[in-house]
Amino acid sequence: MQYQYKEYLSDFKAWKQKSHAKQWLIFPENIGKCLSIDETSLSNGELYTIVTNKAGKGRKGTIIAMVAGTKAETVIAILEKIPLKLRNSVTEITLNMAANIGLIAKKCFSNAVRVTDRFHFQKLALEALQEIRIKYR
């Protein structure tokens, strides 16, 4: 049944992103005012950089880009395939504190305010509190 769907019922053979889907996918139509960018490991330690529309809340239309790897130059080259007008419409981008992610956000979404995500902010604050606690013990 899966074979029948893929080969005959779906538009998989005519999919415009089929040739490069293992390296990257972009969905410019999903872009919004507030985005998130992060890296994740899906399987076997393979890292991917994912850009999402926060308004999508994880549902259909949330993913804007998914790029194999985390190298800034590679991700920037892919994100630059999204029209500049759309990228300039982004007002806020949430990211972690990794230098490569910051560079990607700065180069590709230059009009957006960069905001450190809550998880990494809390982690940094907790580490600082722990250092103070140990110092004054």
Mean residue pLDDT across the chain: 91
Q: How many residues does the chain have?
A: 137
* The pLDDT of residue 17: 85
Determine the Cα–Cα distance for residues 119 and 137; give it in Å rounded to an integer: 27
Q: Are 40 and 1 in contact (CB under 8 A)?
A: no
Give the pLDDT score at 51. 97
For residue 74, give the amino acid letter. Answer: T
Q: What is the pLDDT of residue 18?
A: 81
124 alpha-carbon distance from chain centroid: 21
Angle at alpha carbon of residue 110, lines to 109 and 114, rounded to 5°? 75
CA trace torsion 4, 8, 11, 12 (10° rounding): 50
- What pLDDT, in 10s, does the model give residues 73-124? 999 999 999 999 999 999 999 999 899 999 999 999 999 999 988 887 788 8
pTM as predicted? 0.81
**CA dihedral defined by 82, 83, 84, 85, rounded to 10 degrees?**
-130
Residue 41 identity (one-letter amino acid): S
Neighbours of 41 (CB within 10 A): 9
